[in-house]
Amino acid sequence: MRRLAALAALQGLLGGCAVPPPGTKMAPEVTLHGVKLRNFHNSTLSAVGSASDMTYERATADVHSQNVTLDVFQLEPPPPPGVRPPATHLEAKETLGNLLTRGIDATEGVTARLPTGLFGRTSHAFFDSPEMRATGASQVVLDGPDGFWLRADGFDLHLRTDVYDFVNPETRTRGP
């Protein structure tokens, strides 16, 4: 009887400590902090990264992440054994992905540093994980070596092969 009373008291205390979600939103089923990411293409490691926080909803397979970084390796042509391949470094403040579609929407500022030395930024990008392809219809600005500058109305980046297409690009080269 004492155990039952103690268990009921403990349950009451713990239940009272939980912060309920807003009435219109359910709490995530899984919350992770300090997440390390690894993505494989077949058996080859194709990307590594991290997220400060990540939540997962079982019913929809949605994954919401914050402060995400990802290094996507160029695997074509294959690097020599033991040599880390060149990588495109991506960062986003917030992402919403889905484990079933394997697509990720990155928002609130997205940056990319390419192996060629180009640095790009945009407000929104969509990442297709199976294809290792980033696309977007938001304005993108790139800065590169030797004063290179590009502004475009959209982009299509094939991250494995280092092939990049831009919508209505305007370019300039600053310097001597």
Walking along the chain (176 residues) 10 residues at a time, the average pLDDT comes out as: 37 40 68 91 86 93 94 81 86 94 93 89 92 91 90 89 88 70
- pLDDT for the residue numbered 86: 87
pTM: 0.74
- pLDDT for the residue numbered 15: 39
Distance CA 142, CA 121 (A): 7
Residues 76, 59 contacting (CB under 8 angstroms): no
Identify the structural domains of the chain with CATH numbers, from first to last. Answer: 28-173 (2.60.450.10)
42: left (phi over 0), alpha (psi -120 to 50) or beta: left
- pLDDT for the residue numbered 174: 67
Find, among 129, 131, 175, 123, the residue nearest to 154 by Cα: 123
Find, among 88, 96, 98, the residue nearest to 60 by Cα: 98
Distance CA 62, CA 146 (A): 42
The structure tokens listed for 110 are 């997205």
If you ran DSSP here, which 8-state letter would residue 66 be given? E
